[in-house]
Chains A and B, each alone.
Chain A
Amino acid sequence: MADRQVPNWLDPTQGVSVRSLTLFCLGAVIGLAVAGYALFTAKGTSTLYVPPDAIALVNQQPISRSDFAAQLRTLYDTAPGQATAEQRRKVLNDLIREELFVQRAKELDVGAVDPEVRQAMVGAVEQQAAADAITSAPTEAKLQAFFEAHRGNYATEGVMAVRDLVFPVAAAVQAGETAQALRGGADVARFTARDSRKTEGEEFYFAAKIHLGPRLFEAARALPDHGVTGPLAEGGSLHVLYMAQNRRPMPLAYAEAKPQVLADYRRQAIDRLQSGNEGFLRKRANVLVAKDLR
Chain B
Amino acid sequence: MAGGASGSLSLELWKTRRRIVSLVVLAAVAGLALWLAGRRQEAALLRADADQVAASNGALLRSAVRAGAGVYRQGCASCHGAQGRGDMSAGVPDLTDADWLYGRGLAQEIEQVAEHGIRSHRAKALALADMPAFALPAPSSTERISSLSPRDIADVTEFIRYLGGGAQDMTAAARGGLIYQARGACFDCHGRDGRGDSAVGAPNLADATWLYGDRKRESIARSIAEGRAGVCPGGGGALSATALRQVALYIHSRSSSRRAGADRGS
Residues of A within 8 A of B (CB): 2-6, 8, 10-14, 52-53, 64-67, 69-70, 73, 79-82, 124, 127-128, 130-131, 133-137, 157, 159, 201-204, 206-207, 210, 255-256, 258-260, 262-263, 266, 270
Contact = CB atoms under 8 A, between A and B. Distances in A.
Given A66-B112, A81-B49, A259-B91, A3 B150 contact: no
17 contacts: A2-B2, A14-B8, A52-B241, A53-B46, A53-B240, A53-B242, A65-B47, A69-B111, A69-B112, A73-B109, A127-B123, A133-B121, A134-B121, A202-B151, A256-B222, A259-B228, A262-B231
Nearest to A255: B89
Nearest to A67: B124
B128 interface: no
Interface of B: 2-5, 7-12, 14, 17-18, 42-52, 78-79, 89-91, 106, 108-109, 111-112, 115, 117, 120-125, 135-137, 147, 149-151, 212, 222, 225-226, 228-231, 233-234, 238, 240-242, 244
A20 B38 CA distance: 34
A203 B233 contact: no
A79 B135 CA distance: 41
A13 B9 CA distance: 8
Contact of A3 (B2, B44, B109): B2
B142 to A, nearest CB: 15
B2 A81 contact: no
Given A66-B112, A134-B233, A11 B8 contact: yes
A65 B107 CA distance: 14
A10 B46 contact: no
B112 A127 contact: no
A3 B3 contact: yes
A260 B3 CA distance: 84
Contact of B135 (A13, A53, A201, A204): A204
Given A134-B120, A202-B151, A6 B89 contact: no
Contacts of B8: 5-6, 8, 11, 13-14
